[in-house]
Amino acid sequence: MKHLSKIWLLPLLFFVFTACIDKKQEQSVEVKTAEEVKEQKEEIPDIADSSFKDGMTGAVYHYYLKVRTALFNDDLDAAKDASESIANSFDEDFSKLKSLSEKMARAEDIEQLRSAFSEFSIEVESLFKQNLSAGTIYKQHCPMAFNNKGAFWFAEVEEIKNPYKGEKMPKCGSVTETIKPKK
């Protein structure tokens, strides 16, 4: 009997010792200077909580958010690239939207692109509203854009990230409408 209890003791001890071993996991911490943090650019989430009735509108919204984020970051090249992707998402049935997105892609400077983005936002509103099938879109407005004429844009979150003022006034604006799917 003593011999049998010693046999069970050996696996139990093995289990206790292996369970208590400190298994080191690799961790990494990235330390950034204040300058690096200031230079870090905003990125849009890979997955917005909005979905649409058709793939074209979903693609347009995805690239629209990329343009908005690039303008917020004062990144002309990224905004032009995303604008070109918007233009490529449209077929001939959406000639006005395609033309406006091509105008954004051809912009020679960031202010010209912001102006075209404002025009595009006005025209694309009904497309987003009619085809939203899940999630929320926030219509936001900056009263100071374009010499206090004001302009709006759409966002996937309530937080204001102003594409018209960029780094000058990133939080200028407010949510003017919360857009939900039509039932």
Q: Is residue 86 part of a domain?
A: yes
Q: Is residue 9 part of a domain?
A: no
Give the number of other Cβ atoms within 10 Å of residue 138's Cβ: 18
Q: Residue 118 is part of which domain span?
A: 48-179
Residues 6+ positions from 144 with CB-CB distance below 8 Å: 150, 164, 165, 169, 172
Percent of the chain with pLDDT over 70: 74
Kindly report, residue by residue over 86-124, the tens digit of the pLDDT. 999 998 899 999 999 999 999 999 999 999 999 999 999
Task: Name the pTM for this structure.
Answer: 0.75
- Please give the helix or strand (H or E) that residue 151 lies within, else none: strand 151-155
Overall domain count for the chain = 1
As to burial, measured by CB atoms within 10 angstroms (0-12 exposed, 13-18 middle, 19+ buried), residue 98 is middle
